[in-house]
Amino acid sequence: MKLLAKKRKNGIENLTGYILILPWLFGFLLLYLVPMLSSVYFSFTNYNLLNEPKFIGLDNYRRMLFNDPTFWKSLGVTFYYVFALVPLRLAFALFIAVLLNTKMKFLGVYRAAYYIPSIVGGSVAVSIVWRQMFGNNGVLMSFLKLIGIHQEVSFIGNPFTAIWTIILLGVWQFGSSMLIFLAALKQIPQSLYESAMIDGANMWQKFTKITLPMLTPIIFFNLVLQTINGFRAFTESFIVTQGGPLDSTLLYVLYLYRRAFTYFDMGYSCALAWVLVGIIAVMTLLIFRSQTTWVYYESKEGE
């Protein structure tokens, strides 16, 4: 009897589960699976979009690994970008979110102001202002001159520092991460803080013993997403530096896009894409694996 009831319960759960994910599943099969499989196929071909793809086996991958210094360069640039941007951005977003999670006046205004960069993100205006800010006559140079540092080449024209202008552009757009942290902060039960206050905890203890642990699922989420998005970054370098100077800001996806549409080299571009997916998958897996050591879930249901 008990077994039958359990089987029936499982059956209903299975059905419920699939009904709930049905729209997503349908979309996945139609709009993702087929294109993904196509692009995997294209990666083994010579395809310029205008004509039928021609099968060439592993040639694209061979060229990538042994005959394409730009591939390695863009990979290096992208790794550097991710490892610099993600911690900075998360730390900043968390800091500001905690700061704004108080009862001060004009909070809504500040929140809106901090989110604006994410809204204007990819616009022509940003690309122009950013270049001028870090340019020869820009705000930054004037400031440096004031404190006595003299720079020959502007930050944005210097192959060593140009990547930092792009990183800063990413950090500047921390608004979206901040919003997510704010939402998560709102979810932490007030009762926890109240009990802590009764126990005599100070601000720092409240932060480290209550806020941080309760936030770890969201920190985890932001970490995964920001890492994935970091590897996929495109617009920033596309509109501000077009990958220059000397390819020092050539993000991987920008190179991929150029291969596909500017050089009519779609097959090779698909190969690049799947190498990227592989790399992101490995990084994501590492972060997922690390969950058990530092992420605290209220609900202990399966991971």
Partner 1 sequence: MKKSNMGKKLKPVLFHLFAATVGFFMVYPLLWTVASSFKHNSEIFVNSYSLVPERWAIAENYTTGWKGISGISFGTFLLNSFIVSALGTIGGVLCSMLAAYAFSRVKFIGRNFWFMCVIITLMVPNQVMIVPQYIIFKRLDLINKLQSLIIPWFFGSAFFIFLMVQFIRGIPVELDEAATIDGCGKLSIFFRIILPLLTPAIATCTIFSFYWIWQDFFQPLIFMSKPKYFTVSLALNMYLDPNSFSNYGALFAMSVVSVLPVIVLFIMFQKYLVEGIATTGLKG
Partner 2 sequence: MKKVSLSLMSMLLVLSLFIAGCSQARDVDEVKTEPTKAAAGETEEESSAKPVVLSITWWGSQTRHDYTTKLLEMYSEKNPHVTFESTPSGWDGYFDKLAAQAAGNTMPDIIQMDNLYIATYTKNKTIADLYPFVSDKILDLSDVPEAMVKTGEIDGKLTGAILSSTALTVPYNPDVFAEAGVPEPTPNWTWSEFEEAMLAIKDKTEKYGYASDVLTDTNLLTYWIRQYGKSLYSEDGTELGYDDDQIFVDYLKMLYRLTKSGAMPTADEWMQIATKGKEARPVVTGDAGAMFEWANFGVIVESVNPNLKLAIPPYADNGTKALWIKPGMFFSVAESSSNKAEAARFISWFINDIEANKIINTERGIPVASKVKEALKPQLTKQQMAMFDYLDLAANEHAGPVSPPEPAGSAEVTKAMADQINLVLYDKKTPEQAAADFRKAANEILARNAQN
Q: What is the DSSP letter of 261?
A: I
Q: Does 286 bind partner 1 (CB under 8 A)?
A: no
Q: Does 50 bind partner 2 (CB under 8 A)?
A: yes
Residue 75: CB minimum distance to partner 1, A: 14
Q: Does 224 bind partner 1 (CB under 8 A)?
A: yes
Residue 79: CB minimum distance to partner 1, A: 16
**Residue 45 phi/psi, 5° resolution?**
-130, 170
149: Cβ–Cβ under 8 A, 6 or more apart, which residues? none
- In angstroms, the Cα distances linking 107 to 92, 93, 104, 185 are 17, 15, 6, 15
- Within 100-119, the residues that bind partner 2 by CB under 8 A are none
Among 99-107, 125-133, 192-200, 209-217, the segment contacting partner 2 (CB under 8 A) = 125-133
Using alpha carbons only, give the angle 36, 38, 41 rounded to the nearest 5 degrees. Answer: 110
Q: Please pick, from the candidates 128, 139, 197, 286, the single residue that binds partner 2 as defined by CB under 8 A.
A: 128
Q: Does 121 bind partner 2 (CB under 8 A)?
A: no
Using alpha carbons only, give the angle 72, 74, 75 rounded to the nearest 5 degrees. Answer: 60
Q: Does 294 bind partner 1 (CB under 8 A)?
A: no
Q: Does 262 bind partner 2 (CB under 8 A)?
A: yes
Q: Please pick, from the candidates 58, 107, 153, 246, the single residue that binds partner 1 as defined by CB under 8 A.
A: 107
**Residue 154 touches which of partner 2, partner 1, none (CB < 5 to 8 A by kind)?**
partner 2
For residue 46, give both structure tokens. Answer: 């010579």
Among 200-208, 242-250, 271-279, 281-289, the segment contacting partner 2 (CB under 8 A) = 242-250
Q: Does 52 bind partner 1 (CB under 8 A)?
A: no
**Residue 246 touches which of partner 1, partner 2, none (CB < 5 to 8 A by kind)?**
partner 2
Q: What is the DSSP letter of 215?
A: H
What is the rounded CA–CA span in Å between residue 212 and residue 215?
5
- Report the run of H or E that residue 45 belongs to, with start and end: strand 45-46
Calculate the CA 282 to chain-centre distance. Answer: 15
Q: Does 17 bind partner 2 (CB under 8 A)?
A: no
CB closer to partner 2, 34 vs 153: 153
**Residue 46 phi/psi, 5° resolution?**
-100, 110
CB closer to partner 2, 61 vs 264: 264
Pattern 22-51, partner 1, x by CB under 8 A: -xxxxxx-xxx-xxx-xx--x------x--
- Within 165-194, the residues that bind partner 1 by CB under 8 A are 172, 175-176, 179-180, 182-184, 186-187, 189-192
Residue 303: CB minimum distance to partner 1, A: 9
Handedness of CA 58, 63, 65, 71 (dihedral sign): negative
- Within 155-194, the residues that bind partner 2 by CB under 8 A are 156-159
Instruction: Spell out the alpha helix ranges (H) of the chain.
Output: 2-27, 34-42, 59-66, 69-100, 107-120, 124-133, 139-146, 162-172, 175-187, 190-198, 203-206, 212-231, 235-240, 252-257, 266-294
Q: Are 159 and 248 in contact (CB under 8 A)?
A: yes
159: Cβ–Cβ under 8 A, 6 or more apart, which residues? 245, 246, 248
**Residue 166 touches which of partner 2, partner 1, none (CB < 5 to 8 A by kind)?**
none
- Residues lying near partner 2 in the complex (CB under 8 A) are found at 46, 48-51, 127-128, 131-132, 135-136, 153-154, 156-159, 241, 244-247, 261-264
